[in-house]
Amino acid sequence: MLIELDEGYSFGLGLFETILLYKGKPVFLDEHLVRINKSIVDLGLNIDKLERDEVFQYLNNNKNTLEYEVLKIVLSEKIGYS
């Protein structure tokens, strides 16, 4: 994953969300997505809303075997999701 430092990182024009994973499954995912997508609109970011399928696609491609983990989603206008 390539991380570019843009205004989202330099001036706080972005957002992040940290999601608990229990046995590889996100806890309270729907609530996290509501908060993420509301923040995209509230901050006026010119990016698409984050969908459940995108989160599960990422998790399926990056499996781990720990019982408890976290997934940190970082969004800014220039790079979208990371």
Q: Which of 5-14, 34-43, 54-63, 72-81 is least confident?
A: 5-14
Question: Residue 1: what pLDDT?
Answer: 47
pLDDT tens digits along 42-77: 988 888 999 999 999 999 998 877 999 999 998 887
Q: Where are the domains of the chain?
A: 27-74
Question: Residue 28: what pLDDT?
Answer: 98
Q: Among all chains, which residue has been given the structure tokens 């229990």?
A: 22
Whether residue 23 is predicted with pLDDT greater than 80 in this model: the reply is yes
Give the HSE-up count for residue 40: Cα atoms under 13 Å, Cβ half-sphere. Answer: 20
The percentage of residues in the chain with a pLDDT greater than 90, rounded to a whole number, is 57
